[in-house]
Structure 1
Amino acid sequence: MAESNTQGWRRSRERSLPGRRRMDFMLPIVRRQWQHNLGGSVEKRRHWSARWSVLAVVLVLLLGGRAALAGPVLALDAAAGELALDGHGQAWLDADGHADLASVAAGTAGAWVATVPGHIYPLRRGQALWFRFTLSEADDNERWYLQVPYPGVDRVTLSTQDPQGRWIEQTAGDTLAVAAWPLPHRHPLLPLALMPGTPQQFYLRVENRNGFGAPLQFTSERELVRQEQRSGLVLGIYFGLAGLSIVLALLAALPLRDAAFAWYALTIGLMALSQACLTGIAGLHLWPRQAWWNDVSAIALPPAAVAALLWFLSTVVSLPERSRRSHLLLAVLSVACLAAAGAILLVDPGWRSRILVPVMVLSILAAISVVAWAASRGDRHAGWLLVAMVPVAVGASLPLARLSGWLPVSFWTTHAMQIGIAIDLPLLMAVLVARSQHRRATSRRLHGLDRTDPATGLINAHVFLERLQRLIARSGRLKHDSLVLLVDIANTQALRRDFEPRWADELPLRVAGRLQSAAREFDSVARLADHRFGMLVEGPLTVDEVAATGPKIVARCLMPFKDRPLEWVAQVRVAHTLVPSGHDARSVVERLDAVLAAVPPDSKRAVFPVR
């Protein structure tokens, strides 16, 4: 009975201590190997001592060492190429920022909580956010990196222990020169020291004055190269488009003498430089050794770009001529933006976003309101400006929301502004080109008021007499006949009585269009009075062509007009004569005018040849 109880106790002990049985099995092997090595050299004994120390560590991990690791082990798979931390790590907020790595690693600093995907951790200056996570890889075919896709983060420090127990630390962030990062990049990119088959625990310390909501991503070297190729393509398209727009605007500003193109170039240049700062391009390539300026430029340059944008919009919609008060409002806001940019350089870093966000929001809302007001007052370009400003306003709202701590760091909060500006650039250039053409056309009309009719664009009576005199001389020299016509609108008073008065004012414009469509490219049409037109028809002309010209003009003017009643038509009377007729231009016009003046008001006849 006692022997049976002893055997049962032994079986129970074996079931409860499987690890001890494995150790009992391994100890004789270790003992024999050690005795065998006693006869060797000291150097050989040290070699085997190190080997069996590693074996002992592996055995400890197998027997229960995994319980000491923080959270689940993330297995890095080279086939996937990328893995996010999401909820597989733990976080702890150091409220006073005084905790050191030793106390954090010992677990005595504070209580850890599981990480949450997309969570925004509120941080203030002087505080620190700690993450811990455990990684493992099956082989060493790929190098792995920790990506913190937040170019504006102040400082991140990655720590882990080497096999000898020494801490390895790597630091990156805006408060450190990019050239001093372990791997200079657009955003913190830290190499991971891993041993295949062995879980490795890491600690990440984050310092940032505006909170932290960036995802932590573990990326293989192959996937990192692929991502950089995609990012390089997108950024290259944006900055190439911005550079081309600046060059075209500067080339157009001087010949056209249009300040809008110069303001456009300045605005796009400052916006592109701001985006270079926000995406980390500027810190990597323009000032890699200027840590202070790299940190502050991403906040100081956007308000300067908005200041230039306000002046640009005011110039495009001719705001000084439309409303001095509105122009003064934009001028004050522009100066406020420049003052905010200067203040950001001087104040405590914790106040930078508090200054930037209100100024940017107020300026953008004021710009949209002023442009909408100009569109409501009939500005032909303000509507397109509003359409162009929509993607910029939407793109700017996402980074501002991230700075305010409302949104986590993501692709859209980082690149939405670039996408909005890329859509905006060609639209603004199209508006500037259309505006320039309109200004040139207006300038030509103003310079040609002494030779053209401002309402119809036809030549006036003075130019008509000049051309008629040349036509008489040319026809006599070439010995052929040309035709001169005077066209009067005879039913203006009846139309004014039977229809809306404003339609009667519109009728001469409609008749001018009909006469232009009836004339050939080398013929001339002129407006001689409110309801009188003149035409010069170049010869040589046959008798049939001369006889058909007058009736053809009458028939064309009697055709109904679109969107008008059938009765609303122009009844015209045409007097014409052939030149040369032995008289000068003024006498020819006087003869035709006398014929038309003698026609009775109730006459049904419409064409009057003059011999």
Structure 2
Amino acid sequence: MIHFAFFFVLALYSTGAAAVGIPDSFPVVLDENTGRLDISRHLTYYEDSSSRLNISEIMDRWPKIASEGMPEEAYNFGFSNSTYWFHTRVTNQSSPNDRWIIEGLYPIIDRMEMFVVKADRSIARQTAGDSVPFLLRFRDHHNINFFLKLSSGQSVDVFFRVQTSGAVQMRTLLWDSDRFSSADHQERFLLGLYYGLLVCMAIFNFLIFVSIRDTSYLWYVSYILSYGLLQFTLNGLAFEHLWPESPWWNNRAVGFLISTGMCCVLGFSRSFLALRENAPRLEKVFLAFMVFFVVTGAASLFWPAYGLVIRVNTFAAAVAVGFVILAGGLCLYRRFRPARYFMLAWTALLSGMLLYTLKTFAVVPANFITEFGIQIGSAFEVIILSIALADRLRHMALKNQQVQQEMTEKLESRVAERTSELEAANRQLEALSSTDGLTGVFNRRFFDSRLEEESARCRRQGPMALIMIDVDHFKSFNDNFGHQAGDACLQRLADTLTAVVRRETDIVARYGGEEFAIILPYTDAIGASTLAETVRLTVERDLRFEWEGRPVPVTVSVGVAMAPGGRSVEPGELIAAADGALYASKQAGRNRVTVHPPGNLRPEAGEPVTP
């Protein structure tokens, strides 16, 4: 009885296989533990270069035309104009589940058809792809998916017909329907976090751009938006949520967004790395690439042969990525500070992009890392560039502080310089206002001010003396030789007085006309009379004035007045006393010194001391 049952099951299984007549060396077998199964390596394939064969012809010829052996990885044929057929047999050996989902993990295949061939050779057909209306899919899901009803003990042959202008990739999963729904929720949650991060970074950088008007941030925002939309399209989410009724645009959007994204990448890199200063030749290369991607972006929308455009576009993107990395490395070698974070961040992103590109050209196998390499790399990029942006802002703030400090120091230096110039000018003006224009000694205005100060000091600290000097017979001098001779005489006299009076505290001033005065702080009667006699004698012996070749004798009369320390004295009294002594010298015969007695400032008290 047991043997009979065994042969009955074997006969039933053989009958199903024989009904279709398609051999399969590695069928897909489902059991009670099957929830998710990668059936990529269970597929055999045939390349229909003419794209003319139909399912009936394929079924009849499959034993002769199908590939042999189990592939090591999921099929990835890269770009091709051919139509590819794939086949596997699915047997539900013991699973109680009869509802299954077959998912294609490459959502941008243009058109993918699934044919389910039952034992009675009846055929069920389903169609999906990014050039097929989204509503035709069994599940509202961003990946291509088909429904398979297969009860326990049943077997079916499954054929896939794939035709696309892009890459042909056949990483395919078979799901328990419930497990598929659960995994879909988890995937959408992770993708939501990822795209949420991109949106936050775009808003954050746009606000920074609005604040500081740095075009690097505007380029970066443009890149994030175009790149995020490209990923949204590559993941099939854009077709699901943004334009489910526009398969033509969905098919063309990938090429257009690659061009837009690369143009923004190049623009951001050119601005962020300051290539105009750091690598001017590379900047020209970047500009040429940007123009190229503008052209290919337009071609993606309007050129009839879209397959050629997407291939050229993808290859150019890979080349441009290499130049971006080269530019970052060159700026890093030249010690450009922002290049450190740039290289770290963009190496992560561009490595993911490079893996994706190589996967598209079938250079590397299609798997989770290569399929989602851009998302993985960009997640790290966003984190690292956040640090880079913070460092950039900090560096800009420090630079602004440095510039402000330099400007402040420069301004302070200029203010100090101008202040010094102003003080010098004021001193010059003060000197001009206090200097006699003819003789160069202090004038009457300065004399009055200084005499008042010294009189006040005398009351507190010590004695002082005032000497008044007048040129003898000066009126006759002017009458005989002229006023020019008189002016020259006064100039020579002023020079003589300045040479004799050497203390810095002593003041020589022109009192008026031919009369001069000398203020002598901290000077007693003996010192004042001695200096007065020196002045008189020096003028008489050493002045030696000549006019028009004729020697002209010049003498002076001198009056000295004293103000002892510790008592109050008015400047007018001191002048009157000195002037009285001077008058006494003239009355006594001129060319002599008269000293007014100390302590008595009456003008008539002076007596001549030098005959």
Give the structure-2-normalised TM-score. 0.61
Q: What is the match of residue 384 of structure 2?
A: 427
Q: CA distance change for structure 1 residues 461 and 64 in 2, over 3 Å: closer, same or farther?
A: closer
Residue 243 of structure 1 is aligned with which of 199, 217, 225?
199
Native 8 Å contact 2:80 2:168 kept in 1: no
Q: What is the match of residue 333 of structure 1?
A: 289
Q: What is the match of residue 70 of structure 1?
A: 23
Check if 1:391 corresponds to 2:342: no
In the aligned structure 1, how far is the partner of 2:63 from the partner of 2:35? 34
In the aligned structure 1, how far is the partner of 2:10 from the partner of 2:402? 94
Q: Cα deviations across residues 230-269 of structure 1 (Å, max 9, x unaligned)?
A: 3223312211111110111111111222222211111111
In the aligned structure 2, how far is the partner of 1:407 from the partner of 1:323? 33
Q: What is the match of residue 79 of structure 1?
A: 33
Secondary structure (helix, strand or coil) at the match of 2:408 reads coil
Secondary structure (helix, strand or coil) at the match of 1:192 reads strand
Which amino acid in structure 1 is aligned with residue 226 of structure 2?
L
By how many angstroms is 1:400 displaced? 0.5
Q: CA distance change for structure 1 residues 65 and 450 in 2, over 3 Å: closer, same or farther?
A: closer
By how many angstroms is 1:358 displaced? 2.9
Check if 1:116 corresponds to 2:67: no
Q: CA distance change for structure 1 residues 95 and 219 in 2, over 3 Å: closer, same or farther?
A: same
Native 8 Å contact 2:40 2:170 kept in 1: no
Q: What is the match of residue 368 of structure 2?
A: 411
Native 8 Å contact 2:40 2:171 kept in 1: yes
Aligned pairs for 1:76-155 within 5 A: 76-107=30-61, 110-114=64-68, 115-118=70-73, 119-121=75-77, 124-155=80-111
By how many angstroms is 1:101 displaced? 1.4
Q: CA distance change for structure 1 residues 446 and 63 in 2, over 3 Å: closer, same or farther?
A: closer
By how many angstroms is 1:398 displaced? 1.2
In the aligned structure 1, how far is the partner of 2:146 from the partner of 2:352? 29
By how many angstroms is 1:341 displaced? 2.0
Secondary structure (helix, strand or coil) at the match of 1:420 reads helix
Check if 1:61 corresponds to 2:12: yes
**Aligned pairs, number:** 409
In the aligned structure 1, how far is the partner of 2:385 from the partner of 2:107? 29
By how many angstroms is 1:372 displaced? 2.5
Give the structure-1-normalised TM-score. 0.61
Which amino acid in structure 1 is aligned with residue 116 of structure 2?
T
The percent of aligned pairs where both chains have the same amino acid is 20
Check if 1:452 corresponds to 2:406: no
Q: What is the match of residue 194 of structure 1?
A: 150
By how many angstroms is 1:104 displaced? 2.1
Native 8 Å contact 1:75 1:136 kept in 2: yes
Check if 1:217 corresponds to 2:173: yes
In the aligned structure 1, how far is the partner of 2:187 from the partner of 2:14? 46
By how many angstroms is 1:150 displaced? 0.8
Q: CA distance change for structure 1 residues 347 and 413 in 2, over 3 Å: closer, same or farther?
A: farther
By how many angstroms is 1:179 displaced? 2.5
Native 8 Å contact 1:136 1:200 kept in 2: no
Native 8 Å contact 1:307 1:333 kept in 2: yes
Which amino acid in structure 2 is aligned with residue 224 of structure 1?
F
By how many angstroms is 1:342 displaced? 2.0
Secondary structure (helix, strand or coil) at the match of 2:178 reads helix
Q: What is the match of residue 402 of structure 1?
A: 359
Q: Report the aligned-residue RMSD.
A: 3.1
Residue 358 of structure 1 is aligned with which of 300, 312, 315?
315
In the aligned structure 1, how far is the partner of 2:229 from the partner of 2:215? 21
Aligned pairs for 1:22-33 within 5 A: none
In the aligned structure 2, how far is the partner of 1:81 from the partner of 1:189? 16
Aligned pairs for 1:487-502 within 5 A: none
Residue 235 of structure 2 is aligned with which of 279, 294, 297?
279
Q: Cα deviations across residues 346-385 of structure 1 (Å, max 9, x unaligned)?
A: 1413313431233112212222222333233332111221
Aligned pairs for 1:237-316 within 5 A: 237-316=193-272
Which amino acid in structure 1 is aligned with residue 49 of structure 2?
A
Structure 2 residue runs without a partner (length 5+): 420-611
Native 8 Å contact 2:321 2:350 kept in 1: yes
Q: CA distance change for structure 1 residues 447 and 121 in 2, over 3 Å: closer, same or farther?
A: closer
Q: What is the match of residue 564 of structure 1?
A: none
In the aligned structure 1, how far is the partner of 2:339 from the partner of 2:50? 52
Structure 1 residue runs without a partner (length 5+): 1-17, 24-57, 467-611
